[in-house]
Structure 1
Amino acid sequence: MMTIDEEVEKKEILNKYRKLLRHSKPFLQAGDAKLIKRAFSMSLDAHREMRRKSGEPYILHPLAVAQICVEEIGLGTTSIIAALLHDVVEDTEMEIEDVKRVFGEKVARIIDGLTKISGVFDYGSSQQAENFRKMLLTLSQDVRVILIKLADRLHNMRTLESMPRNKQLKVASETIYLYAPLAHRLGLYAIKSELEDLNLKYTESDIYEEISNKINDTKTSRDRFIRRFIAPIQSELKDQGFDFVIKGRPKSIFSIWNKMKKQEIPFEQVYDLFAIRIILNSDPENEKADSWKVYSIVTDFYKPNPDRLRDWISTPKSNGYESLHTTVMSASGQWVEVQIRTKRMDDIAEKGYAAHWKYKDNASAQESGLEQWISKVRDLLEQNNSPAIEFVDDFRSNLFNEEVFVFTPKGDLRILPNGSTALDFAFDIHTEVGARCLGAKVNSKLVPINHTLHNGDQVEILTSNKQRPNEDWLQFVKTSKARSKIKDAIKEDRKLWAAEGKEIIKRKLKQIKMELNSETVEQLRAFFDAKTLLDFYSEVGKGKIDPRDIKKFKQAREISRKISEERISDAKTFQKEISKIKGGNQDILFIGEDMDRVDYKLAKCCNPIPGDDVFGFITVNEGIKIHRTSCPNAAELMSHYGYRVVKAKWASQKSSAFLAGLKIIGTDRVGLINDVTRIISDELKVNMRSITVDTDTGIFDGSISLYVNDTIHLDLLIKKLEKVPGVVKVSRYDTV
């Protein structure tokens, strides 16, 4: 049992509280310190008997969240109070009304936005999604709700070590699915990068450790390279009288891993492991001119790559990001990214939305980018009545997109997500314009509504009163607004068709002497493969389902009843046959908190094999499905349905065969395929299901689908194949 030294704990709590006050001091106004002290005392008292999973007093968590709000995001007194009290309503006897009485409406509203909804939810809904929706809806009133939630999530991720494995996966998946993209969209680059890195640490810990160690191992040589690279630039900037700081910082582990995956290269071949950042102290009116002067100095010493110049000073990103980026060739033949920005731009890049308030007096046109996005989000949130999961997915789909800058016929600038179409532009102008959109003129040329827009396009929308949104439109719109409005219009149409379809079904069932009840209607829906009753009725109304086919349904139901009766009478024999097919010597997978042996299926989206890091997911119709933690669907499943995730762990690896895929790349030569298949079949006795080979200009590219026992067996096979002369790379891929 853990011994607790109360005096040491009291001292630690007091030190953290004093540190918070020290960092808050520069912006505190008369009476603020007393309010913060009152909030701290209230939180301390409310959480007095509570401890975190790590064993530490719970009050250290709200203190840490408040510290992040002040130090890393740059929020003020209201946010500190809300951060200190953010869990009291959810976890203790205190009510929102108590908070409102002491600290006022603003603080109470923020805490209400941060408090999770409790209770029972509709079948098929997700508590996580409902809570995300509640939190996002508060964004329309006060952005600080999201900023404090990001601080809360960052501290939870930093202290995730003490949580059980399934909780780690759930929290990490929610983080990468929604919170990291939110931090990105609100311009909180440092927090976004740390959240991504911490997600990788808990979902793919081996990869995280490997890249982290390699970054540390190359630190000395990297620092030496940076000193040599910046020396001539520093000297010239001083000579020209610039007040500046130059930093060299490595890319985040997550972005390095993404590049390795995307380009299929090892760590050693990632050339831009770091960026050089030049930060100027410059007057607001000279910022742009000074940045371009520095660019000129850099390119006097190093040759720039013309395809890698990014000017986000003239046209800032919609999250407020401003900077000048160029990639130059160093003297040693290595590409280096150089970022040029002012102190104000750097503050906004690191602290995002919160930093805007610091420069409010110097408000310039570029500040409106983030304000415009917040305004659009408010409109979307207020008008959206989709189910919570759909709502969160729609909202998230716009968070990570880069922008495209286009103009109206009058020359007004519109910023849309990259990949947006003429139809997105139409809905951005007005909902009615979007709903009636027939086509567009882009740069005076007639184009269809699914035409993808590019930077600088001037767009004129053509409309017709006969035009109506249809489901095909959803395939080529990018913006949440367009998607939401199209869905609303389709739903309205569907309701009209469904009302007509319901009447048709009533009449038809009456003709064939079948009773109209919930069981019959549900069976009809299943028989015609409709997802919902509304879909079924509307398909009938549109004429896509022929009412005459209901006779076939009646016949099928009668046959089905006969078959089910016959099957039930011979259930034991049926069970024996199943056991024969399955065999008795399978690998054991322990599932759940108590590590029980239960029935499961392996998910086809990622094909886990014994030895893989896995989790169980309780499906609605197919029992427990086992996924790899690196499965492409893992983040979404655990984010939406964390309560349906269960622990799963391989207990032994016997001789069962599991399907896996290998991709082999190399230089083509006579006998290469023979050498590869000999190792697979003869040396390691592995059965192949299929092999496809493509050779082009001396390059060998093969995909092999084969059966292995576990990850150890697979790793051994990969190592053996990599030693075959001519083979350059062997990697695992997910078979379908």
Structure 2
Amino acid sequence: MSLTPTDSTPSATPSNNRATSVRSSSKPDAAQPALHSGVATFTHLTHKLEEYLTPSELKKVKEAYRFSDEMHLGQMRKSGEPYISHPLAVAEICADWKLDAQAMMAALLHDVMEDQGVKKEELIERFGAPVAALVDGLSKLDKIEFQSQIEAQAENFRKMLLAMARDVRVILIKLADRLHNMRTLGSMPPEKKRRIARETMEVYVPIAHRLGLNNIYRELQELSFSHLYPLRHKTLLKAVKAARGNRREVVTKILESVTSTLIAAGIPAQVDGREKTLYGIYRKMRNKHLSFSQVLDVYGFRVVVDSFANCYVALGTLHSLFKPMPGKFKDYISIPKLNGYQSLHTTLIGPYGTPVEFQIRTHDMHRVAESGVAAHWLYKDDEGNLTDLQQRTHAWLQSLLDIQKQTGDSAEFLEHVKVDLFPDSVYVFTPKSKIIALPRGATALDFAYNIHTDIGDQTTSVVINHEHAPLRTELHNGDIVEIITSPSSRPSPNWLSYVRTGKARSAIRHRLRTVNLAESQALGKRLLTNALTALGVDADLPTAVVERLLNESSAKTLDELYADIGIGTRMAPLVARHIIGLQENGSNALPLLDIEGHVVPGKPDPVVINGNEGSAVQLAQCCQPIPGDRLCGQLKHDQALIVHTEDCETAKRNREKEPERWIEVIWGNEINRRFECRITILAHNEKGTLARIAAEIGEADANIVTVSMDDEGDRTMKHLRFTILVDGRVHLARTMRGIRSVDSVTRILRERN
């Protein structure tokens, strides 16, 4: 028996003729995605389309191909191939999903507006309004002038996502487009490779995951990893290949044991051995600080059964064969993921003490797991089984439109959407036992806004698991949440500092802008006047400066800018510094910096912060600044300030990209709150160690926010990770001295980046 590590595609019809079969495939694994061999041809595409399109539909697709071929005639790709090969390759990927004729036409035409200047009206006349709308949703806004590449990118994404919200085929074609571009990225310069790969990892990979397109998700993730970190990818690939031979005996033994056990139990099943993706292995090594040799579960197994009930029967059978690892079982069948994914996950202790992960699902679940929303087209006969998935997708797409209505700025819109694309989720319950899925880290206030915007706006308190709790309380799996409201309650600017979801953030900002608008404008005007006066600048600004300020801040009027300052989404001292830069440096938005990034003498003093400025000032999570740290600040395009420590590696990288957007920041003297700080402790795994460390933290008058412990590695030593609340560096140093006094502690450090 041979095993090829693979994520194989299910057959359209479950095979019930045999009890159990072990499947192997020559299809390449997602860990090493194979490039399409040769240039795509319309003949090959036609063979695929003939399987499911009618002759009249195929005729329309051929017309679209001829038009696209004519428009791209003479245009070449960076690799030297005729450009038409790209639309053909995109169309082939869409044909694998069996997308309809309109989508296939749009896939072939997706670049004619952007590259060849074809007007939307011409496409409407030739191919109809639906096809033209799809192509328009896929085209960038190259004809509009933007202040920066970031602003242009944000507006392009907003256009694409809103088009997707109206018709999900837009994003399916776009993902196919991005997949082929990533497969053929080799001819691009290294810097452009990294930029495109980073964009793919940050936006397109989460979208593919959110829509349940797991095959595309894994391949895009793997290709992005290979271009972002080529040396790490190469080293890890070599290590995996070397380990395959050593582990094949273990994998074969597990497959044989599982196969014979399921046959004996009379459970019809297909068992696949699959290798985890390189990026999945790399992420586990990085997050858990493991070496490659410590990552034991490189292989996983998938068991596909014929019925819902047999999923649980197969689970019990496997648990009788191998011992399950405590805390490593997840039931995504009873509570599906946001993208509709359903499976049972369990980790068992296999031969030689090796942990082995199993996924158990039905054939229908497998179709959805691999194709997500595309399964709507791929398996039209089974449409009734996908109603819940379609409803989930529709609800998320509708939330994009809701955010758009409440958000005027493209960068802000993209920020909200990125938050909601965060893949990890928690599942909580309403008092009536309805399940609500939220991003990990979501608070009770996010829950309120998820139910309805009006409920969020009128929230006064929250009851979690029958006990009153603060609105900022982070929710966990299984929490029962009840929201208490009052018609007289209104959102507070402070809410923006701890809500997690884009829907909640955009709704709060929208409400703050529209309610008590006059008071917010008056307060903002007074704060800006005071900030300008303190810097020796006349508050009566010249018209030219006002115009440039509004143009660069995305505010439409000066009153709107005042309102933003009044509700705390912009910081008056930062806007004042921005104005000085406009007055003194013409079009430059910020004070001049020297070669080391410091403000040139004679310019305004550093910005003073106390840590309670609200959403206008955000303390970076990568380095978690605390009072006493030397600071630097990155001024975002909406005048919000991201504060880092001077030695933060993330700050250093970002400073190299946009040095003109960095300013000096110092701590003020009126600090009246505590700050989160991460510490890592290496200690002997002895009885009472955790209790003694916690006692020392309490003795130092520091509060514990979270604590975690490594569950792998040497049993005699453990890494303990604490997030604690401290007043500043002096308080942190005193706390760490107390922890060092515990005999079993061998090392302690402040964790950053």
TM-score by length of 1: 0.69
Paired position in structure 1 for 2:110: 86
Whether the 8 Å contact between 1:419 and 1:478 is mirrored in structure 2 is yes
Q: 1:88-135 CA deviation, whole Å, 9 max, x = no partner?
A: 111114222222223222211111100001234453661111100000
Return the alpha-carbon distance in structure 1 between the equivalents of residues 652 and 167 of structure 2.
Answer: 31
Distance apart, 1:196 and its partner CA: 1.6
2:360 is paired with a residue whose SS is: strand
Return the alpha-carbon distance in structure 1 between the equivalents of residues 170 and 652 of structure 2.
Answer: 27
Identity of aligned residues (%): 34
Structure 1 range deviating more: 251-260 or 115-124 = 115-124
Paired position in structure 2 for 1:114: 138
Return the alpha-carbon distance in structure 2 between the equivalents of residues 376 and 506 of structure 1.
Answer: 37
Residue 170 of structure 1 pairs with residue 181 of structure 2 = no
Unaligned runs of 5+ in 1: 1-10, 526-530, 562-574, 582-604, 607-616, 622-629, 645-662, 668-690, 705-732
287, 300, 307: which one pairs with 1:275? 300
Paired position in structure 2 for 1:461: 483
Aligned ranges 1:431-446 → 2 under 5 Å? 431-446=453-468
Q: 1:531-563 CA deviation, whole Å, 9 max, x = no partner?
A: 996698459979999x9x9xxx9xxx9xx99xx
Whether the 8 Å contact between 2:340 and 2:389 is mirrored in structure 1 is yes
Whether the 8 Å contact between 2:251 and 2:299 is mirrored in structure 1 is no
Paired position in structure 2 for 1:209: 234
449, 463, 478: which one pairs with 1:427? 449
Distance apart, 1:240 and its partner CA: 4.2
Paired position in structure 1 for 2:671: none
Q: 1:275-309 CA deviation, whole Å, 9 max, x = no partner?
A: 111122x2xxxx22011111122112111123111
Paired position in structure 2 for 1:684: none
Residue 192 of structure 1 pairs with residue 180 of structure 2 = no
Whether the 8 Å contact between 2:403 and 2:502 is mirrored in structure 1 is no
Paired position in structure 1 for 2:363: 343
Whether the 8 Å contact between 2:209 and 2:423 is mirrored in structure 1 is no
Q: 1:330-376 CA deviation, whole Å, 9 max, x = no partner?
A: 12100000111122211211111111442544326643563354354
CA RMSD across the alignment: 4.5
Return the alpha-carbon distance in structure 2 between the equivalents of residues 618 and 162 of structure 1.
Answer: 35
Distance apart, 1:212 and its partner CA: 0.9
Aligned ranges 1:203-242 → 2 under 5 Å? 203-242=228-267
Residue 371 of structure 1 pairs with residue 385 of structure 2 = no
Distance apart, 1:698 and its partner CA: 6.1
Whether the 8 Å contact between 1:177 and 1:635 is mirrored in structure 2 is no
Residue 404 of structure 1 pairs with residue 429 of structure 2 = no
Distance apart, 1:469 and its partner CA: 1.1
Residue 307 of structure 1 pairs with residue 307 of structure 2 = no
Q: Which amino acid aligns with 2:454?
A: E
2:66 is paired with a residue whose SS is: helix
340, 345, 349: which one pairs with 1:320? 340
Aligned ranges 1:589-628 → 2 under 5 Å? none
Whether the 8 Å contact between 1:695 and 1:701 is mirrored in structure 2 is no
Whether the 8 Å contact between 1:173 and 1:636 is mirrored in structure 2 is no
Residue 480 of structure 1 pairs with residue 480 of structure 2 = no
Paired position in structure 2 for 1:129: 154
Return the alpha-carbon distance in structure 2 between the equivalents of residues 48 and 301 of structure 1.
Answer: 62
Whether the 8 Å contact between 2:255 and 2:273 is mirrored in structure 1 is no
Q: Which amino acid aligns with 1:420?
A: A
1:277 is paired with a residue whose SS is: strand
Q: 1:126-146 CA deviation, whole Å, 9 max, x = no partner?
A: 111110000000122100111
Paired position in structure 2 for 1:449: 471
Return the alpha-carbon distance in structure 1 between the equivalents of residues 168 and 749 of structure 2.
Answer: 49
Count of residues in Structure 1 that have an aligned counterpart in Structure 2: 577
Return the alpha-carbon distance in structure 1 between the equivalents of residues 230 and 255 of structure 2.
Answer: 34
Structure 1 range deviating more: 358-367 or 695-704 = 695-704
Alpha-carbon distance change, 540 to 149 in structure 1, aligned in 2, over 3 angstroms = closer
Residue 56 of structure 1 pairs with residue 57 of structure 2 = no
Return the alpha-carbon distance in structure 1 between the equivalents of residues 432 and 106 of structure 2.
Answer: 45
Paired position in structure 1 for 2:408: 386
Distance apart, 1:393 and its partner CA: 1.2
Structure 1 range deviating more: 493-502 or 123-132 = 493-502
289, 296, 299: which one pairs with 1:264? 289
Aligned ranges 1:507-546 → 2 under 5 Å? 516-518=540-542, 537=562
Distance apart, 1:637 and its partner CA: 10
Paired position in structure 1 for 2:175: 150
Alpha-carbon distance change, 695 to 99 in structure 1, aligned in 2, over 3 angstroms = farther
Return the alpha-carbon distance in structure 1 between the equivalents of residues 92 and 450 of structure 2.
Answer: 39
Structure 1 range deviating more: 451-460 or 474-483 = 451-460
1:339 is paired with a residue whose SS is: strand
Q: Which amino acid aligns with 2:173?
A: I
1:441 is paired with a residue whose SS is: strand
Q: Which amino acid aligns with 1:380?
A: D
Return the alpha-carbon distance in structure 1 between the equivalents of residues 416 and 569 of structure 2.
Answer: 29
Q: 1:392-440 CA deviation, whole Å, 9 max, x = no partner?
A: 1110111123333333334433332233222122212221211110012
Q: 1:495-539 CA deviation, whole Å, 9 max, x = no partner?
A: 4235425886999999x996823379879x9xxxxx996698459
Return the alpha-carbon distance in structure 2 between the equivalents of residues 534 and 303 of structure 1.
Answer: 66
Whether the 8 Å contact between 2:52 and 2:98 is mirrored in structure 1 is no
Paired position in structure 1 for 2:47: 22
Whether the 8 Å contact between 1:316 and 1:366 is mirrored in structure 2 is no
Return the alpha-carbon distance in structure 1 between the equivalents of residues 542 and 382 of structure 2.
Answer: 60
Alpha-carbon distance change, 24 to 227 in structure 1, aligned in 2, over 3 angstroms = farther
Whether the 8 Å contact between 1:309 and 1:326 is mirrored in structure 2 is yes
Return the alpha-carbon distance in structure 2 between the equivalents of residues 375 and 317 of structure 1.
Answer: 16
Paired position in structure 1 for 2:747: 701
Return the alpha-carbon distance in structure 1 between the equivalents of residues 355 and 204 of structure 2.
Answer: 32
Alpha-carbon distance change, 154 to 288 in structure 1, aligned in 2, over 3 angstroms = same
Return the alpha-carbon distance in structure 2 between the equivalents of residues 495 and 228 of structure 1.
Answer: 70
1:249 is paired with a residue whose SS is: strand
Q: Which amino acid aligns with 1:304?
A: P
Alpha-carbon distance change, 85 to 245 in structure 1, aligned in 2, over 3 angstroms = same
Q: Which amino acid aligns with 1:347?
A: R
Alpha-carbon distance change, 288 to 502 in structure 1, aligned in 2, over 3 angstroms = closer
Unaligned runs of 5+ in 2: 1-36, 550-554, 585-593, 601-621, 624-633, 640-647, 662-679, 685-732
Return the alpha-carbon distance in structure 2 between the equivalents of residues 355 and 636 of structure 1.
Answer: 40
Alpha-carbon distance change, 175 to 513 in structure 1, aligned in 2, over 3 angstroms = closer
Whether the 8 Å contact between 1:435 and 1:469 is mirrored in structure 2 is yes
Q: Which amino acid aligns with 2:255?
A: I
Whether the 8 Å contact between 1:319 and 1:369 is mirrored in structure 2 is no
Return the alpha-carbon distance in structure 1 between the equivalents of residues 209 and 478 of structure 2.
Answer: 25
Whether the 8 Å contact between 1:506 and 1:516 is mirrored in structure 2 is no
Return the alpha-carbon distance in structure 1 between the equivalents of residues 234 and 569 of structure 2.
Answer: 56
Q: Which amino acid aligns with 1:311?
A: D
Whether the 8 Å contact between 2:445 and 2:456 is mirrored in structure 1 is yes
Alpha-carbon distance change, 440 to 502 in structure 1, aligned in 2, over 3 angstroms = closer
Return the alpha-carbon distance in structure 2 between the equivalents of residues 86 and 118 of structure 1.
Answer: 15
Q: Which amino acid aligns with 2:61?
A: I
Residue 329 of structure 1 pairs with residue 349 of structure 2 = yes
